[in-house]
Amino acid sequence: MKNKLNLLLTGASGFVGGAVLARLDQQSNCNVTMAVRTMPEQACDSKHVYHVHPLDEKADWSPVVADVDVVVHCAARVHVMNDSVADPLAEFRRINVHGTMNLARQAAQAGVKRFIFISSVKVNGEGTSGSHFYSEDDIPAPIDPYGISKLEAEKALNALATETGLEVVIIRPVLVYGPGVKANFRSMMSWLNKGIPLPLGSTANQRSLVAVDNLVDLIITCIDHPGAANQTFLVSDGEDLSTSELLRRMGLALGRPARLLPVPSWLLKLAALSIGKSSISQRLCGSLQVDVSKAKRVLDWTPPVTVNEALEKTALDFLESVKK
C-alpha cells in the first residue's frame, strides 16, 4: 500500500479477520477500525473498535464508514454442521446477503472506494473431477445454503458496483487452515497426535487448501492493487494434496507419524452413504481443486508460504494449545 489508508475490518475477532488484523498491525501505512459483534475482553483503544450487533440489514454503520477508504468484509455466518435452525437458508441470507449489502450500500453512500468481500469456493460447487479445476469463469453451482448465500451476495455486490462505482473485490478461499484453526482440521490434528489409526491410507483424491497466511497476503494485496478492482479471485496454496498425503505431512509436523489403514475409498463412501454421511466422505475422499492463475497473472501474486511451512506453524500452535 503506497498511501496511508483508513480501513474498516469486519469479523476482526474471527479466524481469518484476526489474522488480517495481525498483519495490518505490522504495517504503518493504514489506520484500521475493527468491527466486532462482541467487544474484546482485553483493553483496547475504543476509537478503533466498533461494536455492531446483529450484523444484519438493521446495523448502523454510519459512525465508522464516513472516513473509510476500504472495507475488508470477513464477517459472515459460516458453514454450520448439523444446523438446528428451522430455515438455514433464510438465516444465512439474513447475515451473508442482507447484512453484507446493508454495509456495502452505506459504504458506497459514504464514498468508500473499495469493498473486499471474503466469499467461498462453495460458490463454485462441492467438488471437481478429472483434470477440471474450478476457475473464476465457471458457472456457479452452489449446493448448500452457505454457498447459495455467498453467491447471492456476490451478485448483489456486483450490481451495486455497476450502480454506484464502488470497487468490489471478491475472494473465494478453499478450506483455510493455520494457527488457531478449529472444526475438522483441528480434529484431524487431535487424532494424529493421539496416534489413532485412520482408514484413509488409500485415498487418491486431490484437494486445494489455503494457509491463512497466504489468504491474508492476497487480501492485503487486493486492498490497493489497481488490477483487483471489480474482480473475483480463487485462492489456494498452489499445491494440492490427497487426504492421505495431508495426513502424512501433518503427522510429520506434529512429530507423530500418521497411522493410516489402506481402506479403499469406495468402501468408505459406501459406509458413509449407509449412515447418511455422504457429505463427510466427499470431503475426505472427493477432489476439489482450484486454478489460482488469475491472481498470479492479474496481481502478480504468488503464495508466500509453502504447504510444509504452514503445516509446521499450524502443528506448533496446536501442540502449544494442548499443553495448556
Give the closest residue to 69 by CA, choosing from 25, 107, 28.
107
Give DSSP secondary structure letters for 31-81: EEEEEESS--SS---GGGEEE--S-STT---HHHHTT-SEEEE-------T
- Provide φ and ψ at 87, rounded to 5°: -130, 85
What is the b/e burial string over 195-210, where b = at least 16 CB atoms within 10 angstroms of the residue's CB?
A: eeebbbbbbebbbbbb
Of these residues, 50, 134, 146, 177, which one is catalytic?
Answer: 146
Residues in the chain, total: 324
DSSP state, 309?
A: H
The cell numbers describing 227, all together, are 488490477
CA atoms of 128 and 114, how far apart (whole Å): 32
Active site residue 177: no
Residues labelled as active-site residues = 146
